[in-house]
Homo-oligomer: A and B are copies of this chain.
């Protein structure tokens, strides 16, 4: 193995700070971790892989030791390293002993998922409250008509007992601090926005608290200690196969290319041409239908998000393979960011729909949740649009329609002949 010492870089900043951020080496500080060779693809494939895994394991252990002081940052680093180790073991599976790698990957997946939940709920709440604030930004506090104010306020009275197993209901929240509009405002819709914010605040804060307890429990479990021991072993020794003895430059790139190919295939199967039409209204379609409809539509995009992550980790191992590395890394990182936004919006929309099923909410609250749901589904669509532009920049939508062309040309304007009528005239 090629490792001589544990590099003591500054705590918690190197090797993948957070998932959708820029990839580990090559940005920010000097490439200290690849100092053993200016080009990572000299030496054997096993040595290159082991070096990467060693770096990630070191970052993991360092984060673990710092968890007492900076829990949030440490957990983020633990998650990032766990994802990278698991992903790289998957992509370069022929190079490591499967009897050792497979169970480790499963445990890494468990840890990453467990650690992800609390920040997810926290971000979702922030995202939704910010959207509510934006959606209820009133230019003038005076409501143009006062009719119906009693309808919104009256229907919520008398309810309050939690009914669902997990969803705390009840509408008489004493004007939660997160409420995005002043409850004294006479407009029933603004009042509904305030109540919707309070309802989401209660539900997502509860979910977050539960996720936090689950994380604490997981981190204290013997299961986690066994995993941490495995990672400590990884920092010094990786059980390699015979294939790992080959030169890195010939063994690693084909495996990374395979990951890229899977990504390209999955992304190619997405309805990118339709998504490249702004305001194509696909993502809002079925906003009132069952959750299954949205799931069926979103899951191919989520799948591409995962494959994109694997491609990025694969490239991190092979860093230095070509001159276009930097551009590719930036493109992948931008795409990952967009698909992360896509998933956040989709999951936020689902959370809003779940909140709307809370029994006995006031109509004004339900109305605000409906507006918010549609808004988040439009964010999903916006992320798809940006992704399709990034992914196939030359393939601007023209006359041809991919599918369901009846709505595919919605953003185009009048005559159907040209996407922007008159764009080349005048």
Residue of B nearest to A196 (CB): B288
List chain A positions with a Cβ less than 8 A from chain B. Answer: 132, 134-145, 147-148, 150-152, 155, 163-164, 181, 187-190, 192-193, 278-279, 281, 284-293, 296, 327-328, 330-331, 333-335, 337-338, 353, 356-375, 378-379, 381-382, 385-387, 389-390, 393-394, 407, 410-415, 420-426
Q: Does B393 lie within 8 Å of A424, measured CB to CB?
A: yes
Docked CA distance A368–B284 (Å): 12
Q: Does A370 lie within 8 Å of B374, measured CB to CB?
A: yes
- Which B residues touch A369, using CB under 8 A? 367, 370
Docked CA distance A290–B136 (Å): 8
Given A327-B422, A390-B423, A411-B382, residue A371 in contact with residue B288 (CB < 8 A):
yes
- Give the distance to chain B from A184, nearest Cβ to Cβ, in Å: 14
Docked CA distance A289–B193 (Å): 9
Copies of this polypeptide in the complex: 2
Given A382-B411, A385-B279, A390-B413, residue A286 in contact with residue B359 (CB < 8 A):
no
- Which B residues touch A364, using CB under 8 A? 356, 366
Docked CA distance A328–B362 (Å): 52
| Contact partner, A289, options B187, B291, B379, B389, Cβ 8 Å | B187
- Which B residues touch A138, using CB under 8 A? 286, 289-290, 292-293
Q: Does B357 lie within 8 Å of A188, measured CB to CB?
A: yes
Residue of B nearest to A338 (CB): B413
Residue of B nearest to A425 (CB): B327
Q: Does A135 lie within 8 Å of B288, measured CB to CB?
A: yes
Residue of B nearest to A296 (CB): B139
Docked CA distance A42–B144 (Å): 53
Q: Does B386 lie within 8 Å of A412, measured CB to CB?
A: yes
Q: Does B148 lie within 8 Å of A393, measured CB to CB?
A: no
Given A287-B371, A288-B190, A289-B189, residue A151 in contact with residue B360 (CB < 8 A):
yes
- Give the distance to chain B from A343, nearest Cβ to Cβ, in Å: 15
17 contacts between A and B (CB under 8 A): A135-B289, A136-B288, A137-B286, A147-B357, A150-B359, A190-B289, A278-B382, A279-B381, A327-B425, A334-B414, A334-B415, A363-B363, A365-B366, A366-B367, A373-B374, A393-B424, A394-B426
Q: Does B292 lie within 8 Å of A144, measured CB to CB?
A: yes
- Which B residues touch A288, using CB under 8 A? 132, 135-136, 181, 189-190, 192-193, 368, 371
- Which B residues touch A412, using CB under 8 A? 386
Of residues A151, A289, A382, which shows the largest number of chain B Cβ atoms within 10 Å of its Cβ? A289
Docked CA distance A330–B291 (Å): 43
Docked CA distance A73–B407 (Å): 27
12 further A-B pairs in the complex, CB-CB below 8 A; given A335-B414, A372-B374: A135-B289, A142-B290, A151-B358, A155-B155, A284-B375, A331-B421, A337-B414, A371-B373, A374-B378, A389-B420, A393-B423, A393-B424
Residue of B nearest to A186 (CB): B290
Docked CA distance A363–B151 (Å): 11
- Which B residues touch A360, using CB under 8 A? 151, 155, 363
Docked CA distance A358–B188 (Å): 11
Q: Does A279 lie within 8 Å of B378, measured CB to CB?
A: yes
Q: Does A287 lie within 8 Å of B423, measured CB to CB?
A: no
- Give the distance to chain B from A135, nearest Cβ to Cβ, in Å: 5
Docked CA distance A214–B152 (Å): 33
Q: Does A425 lie within 8 Å of B331, measured CB to CB?
A: yes
- Which B residues touch A415, using CB under 8 A? 330, 334
